[in-house]
């Protein structure tokens, strides 16, 4: 689901909003439409398995092979 983070340029409020398509976003605090989308960082804390593309082939160290991986 597309949840985005925004910052209001009028009152400085930080907020999240579920947005579909090109729907106009307004600040929930002051109703201003002068908002800027913030850069969001994906987080996956607490996953059991490495995320796709993040594994080096070894789960116990950062090397691609080692004695504990065999």
Would the pLDDT of 45 be above 70? Answer: no
Provide the token pair at 3: 């949840």
Q: Among 2, 9, 10, 4, which residue's Cα sits nearest to residue 38?
A: 4
Q: Give the SS3 label for residue 37.
A: strand
Contact 19, 4 (CB under 8 A): yes
Q: Among 28, 32, 26, 40, which residue's Cα sits nearest to residue 10?
A: 32
8-36 mean pLDDT: 94
**Domains in the chain, start-ordered, CATH in brackets?**
1-41 (2.20.28)
Per-residue pLDDT at 70: 52
Would the pLDDT of 1 be above 60? Answer: no
């Amino acid at each position: 689901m597309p949840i985005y983070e925004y910052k209001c340029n009028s009152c400085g409020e930080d907020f999240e909003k579920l947005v579909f398509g090109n729907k106009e976003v307004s600040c929930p605090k002051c109703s201003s439409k002068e908002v800027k989308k913030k850069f969001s960082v994906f987080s996956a804390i607490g996953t059991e398995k490495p995320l796709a593309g993040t594994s080096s082939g070894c789960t116990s160290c950062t090397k691609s092979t080692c004695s504990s991986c065999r």
